[in-house]
Amino acid sequence: MIRKREVSVREAVQESLDCVAALDGTLNCFVTLDGERALARADEVQRGIDDGTLGGPLAGVPVAVKDNICTEGLRTTCSSKILYNFVPPYSAEAVCNLNAAGGVIIGKTNMDEFAMGSTTETSAFGVTRNPWDPEHVPGGSSGGSCAAVASCEVPYALGSDTGGSIRQPGSFCGVTGLKPTYGTVSRYGLIAYGSSLDQIGPIAKDISDCAAILEMLASYDKKDSTSVKREAYDFTSALVDDVKGMKIGIPSDYLGDGLDPEVEAAVRKAADVLRQKGAIVEEFQLSLVEYAIPAYYVIASAEASSNLARFDGVKYGYRAPEYEGLHSMYKRSRSEGFGEEVKRRIMLGSFVLSSGYYDAYYLKALRTKALIKQSFDRAFENYDVILGPVAPNTAPRLGESLSDPLKMYLGDIYTISVNLAGLPGVSVPCGTDAKGLPIGVQLIGDCFQEKKIIRAAYAYEQARGSWQGPADLEKRCDRIPEHAASGEAAGPESACVSKEVG
């Protein structure tokens, strides 16, 4: 629309901001909004479009960025009190790519603190609500980004995925979220949770948009040693409505105990759609599925315990007001600055790396990871794409998951192994349950085979027909008074719930 000059960039950005103004009091997708800056940037981008220096499908399109991705001059908090005032002196490489393509960032989206969670309830800036039903969680940790796209506050957003954090909230919010192959999008400027697992990826209304956004985000970055130089970045060329002869495997171990029958039915229906279009679909035994979560929690927590050591009250962020001496400052700043879930994982990670436990826990987990990778390698000898559910259930009600962390972790069973093996995966809306909450189907590809899952997703979308977002959104939101969510929703101190930066 912008390219066709039907609307100006400023109009598009203003529309986004208006939508946020109308809905976000309830949904709370944003930690930081910067309308003024976005509008100024809109005019700048408009000039670029007008004089032909900026082209491309994303020039002038408003975008929201998950709050663990550094944006120079724009507060980046990881939804944590410990970074409540952190204004990065530099931008993440993905943000630089986005800026170069003419993207207009309107703000930073809410998330589980440091991306540790599956519900966006562990944020120090209050919970984000699911636009399909504000009494339910949007999923996590990229819950703010997914809810913002689902509610049309923004046409697309950036998220990050360490154990399912793009795909699972994508599924809960009825949007399309793609986690690329590890190394495809630079991690430079992504505030690390589990460095060997983290990947930035696009969240949008459909796979066509995701492919275009990924094309813009992906790059070989010399600043990220784990960045991979890929042969081609033309992901949109895979938007082809043809899956004839494509071999699709459904892990029968993904369909077993614990999977909600409504989710299973929707996923099977999606598989049938692809079969009808000529794909060869069959079930197979992936194996080792139940070992992915324990291996993940050891690896991710270990890395996190080290990655999050830098938040200590010395260089940036929160410093406790009172302390006696250096170590007391460290302990108070960290204990007051981090939330419960983050502390739990830091402690677990410190423990599994500590003297005497490294081999039994950490190396054991890395060996398990090797076996999981091998089982995927075997699967991809037979299949082009693996298809399965994203999560065992649809979005739970607010507050329902936090009481039992272990149960919450189990919700990541279908997404986590993909991160351990570094694979690309996408979540595509494929139906709703009886409560009207969306269900997603997950398509997993072999390393560097994004094009195969994009093609499968595109073919599926063509048959499925256009996906309708939540109806009567404003009315749903109106029922919930602003910031009147469950008791814990408010931030730990006033500084943490303020939305604007100065």
Partner 1 sequence: MANRISDETIEYVGILAKLELSEEEREQAKQDIGRMLDYVDKLNELDTSGVEPLSHVFPVHNVFREDVVTNGDDRARMLQNAPKVKDGSWQVPKTVE
Partner 2 sequence: MARQYETVIGLEVHVELATKTKIFCGCSTAFGGAPNTHTCPVCTGMPGSLPVLNKQVVEYAMAVGLATGCQINQYCKFDRKNYFYPDNPQNYQISQLYLPICHDGGIEIETASGRKVIGIHEIHMEEDAGKLIHDEWDDCTLVDYNRSGVPLIEIVSEPDMRSAEEVIAYLDKLRLIVQYLGASDCKLQEGSMRADVNLSVREVGAKEFGTRTEMKNLNSFKAIARAIDGERARQIELLEEGKPVIQETRRWDDNKEYSYPMRSKEDAHDYRYFPDPDLVPVVISDEWLQAVRDRQPELRTEKLARYKKEFDIPEYDAEILTGSKRLADVFEETTALCGKPKKVSNWLMGETLRLLKEEGMEPEELTFAPEHLAKLIELTDAGTINQTVAKEVFEKIFYEDVEPERYVEEHGLKMVSDDGVLRTVVEGVIAANPQSVSDYRGGKEKALGFLVGQTMKQMKGRANPGAVNQLLRELLG
The catalytic site residues sit at 66, 141, 165
Report d(CA 202, CA 427) in Å as an integer.
11
Which of residues 196 and 486 has its CB atom nearest to partner 2 in the complex?
196
Measured from the CB atom, is 309 or 484 closer to partner 2? 309
**Nearer Cβ to partner 1 (98/352):** 352
From 36-44, 194-202, 238-246, 417-425, span contacting partner 2 (CB under 8 A): 194-202
DSSP assignment of 108-125, as one string? EE--SGGG--SSS-S-TT
Give the whole-angstrom CA distance, residue 64 versus residue 154: 7
Find the binder of partner 1 among 125, 132, 330, 458 (CB under 8 A): 330
Dig out the tokens for 384 from the structure.
Answer: 């082009």
Site for partner 1 (CB under 8 A): which residue of 96, 152, 366, 490? 366
Which one among 84, 86, 125, 235 touches partner 2, defined by CB under 8 A?
A: 86
User: Residue 200's closest CA among 154, 162, 172?
Assistant: 162
Consecutive H or E run containing 393? none
CB of residue 301 to partner 1, shortest distance in Å: 8
Alpha-carbon distance of 422 to 376, in angstroms, equals 10
Beta pairing class for 385-389 and 247-251: parallel
DSSP 397: B
State which of residues 69, 211, 250, 259 lies at the interface with partner 2 (CB under 8 A).
69
Nearer to partner 2, 92 or 166 (CB): 92
Stretch that binds partner 2, among 16-24, 80-88, 135-143, 373-381 (CB under 8 A): 80-88
Name the pairing type of β-strands 176-179 and 156-161: unpaired
Q: How far from 477 is each of 32, 34, 273, 283, 437, CA to CA, in Å?
A: 20, 22, 34, 41, 16
Secondary structure class of 225 (helix, strand, coil)? coil
The interface mask with partner 1, positions 102-131, x = CB under 8 A, is ------------------------------
Find the binder of partner 1 among 222, 310, 378, 435 (CB under 8 A). 222
Asked whether position 185 contacts partner 1 by CB under 8 A, the answer is no
Nearer Cβ to partner 1, position 349 or 440?
349
Distances (CA, A) of 56 to 48, 131, 221: 11, 30, 21
Site string for partner 2, 206-245 (x = CB under 8 A): ----------------xxxxx-------------------
Q: Is the CB of residue 106 less than 8 Å from the CB of residue 499?
A: no
Indicate the residue among 89 and 321 with the shorter CB distance to partner 2: 89
Judged by CB under 8 A, which of 158, 191, 423, 428 binds partner 2? 191
Peptide bond preceding 145 in cis form (omega within 30 of 0): no
The first and second tokens of residue 204, run together, are 């949008």
Taking CA 377 as the corner, what is the angle to CA 375 and CA 378, rounded to the nearest 5 degrees?
65
Q: Is 436 exposed, middle or buried (0-12, 13-18, 19+ CB in 10 A)?
A: exposed
- For residue 283, give the amino acid letter: E
Smallest gap from Cβ 64 to partner 1, in A, equals: 23
Applying CB under 8 A, among 37, 344, 464, 499 the residue interacting with partner 1 is: 344
Structure tokens at 30: 């944003």
What residues line the site for partner 1 (CB under 8 A)? 85-87, 89, 182-183, 196, 222, 225-226, 228, 288, 290-291, 293-295, 297-298, 305, 309, 312-319, 323, 325-332, 334-335, 338, 340, 343-344, 346-348, 350-352, 354, 361, 363-371, 373, 405-406, 420-422, 447
What residues line the site for partner 2 (CB under 8 A)? 69-70, 76, 78, 83, 86, 88-90, 92, 187-192, 194-196, 222-226, 302-303, 305-306, 309-312, 314-316, 326-327, 330, 350, 353-355, 358, 362
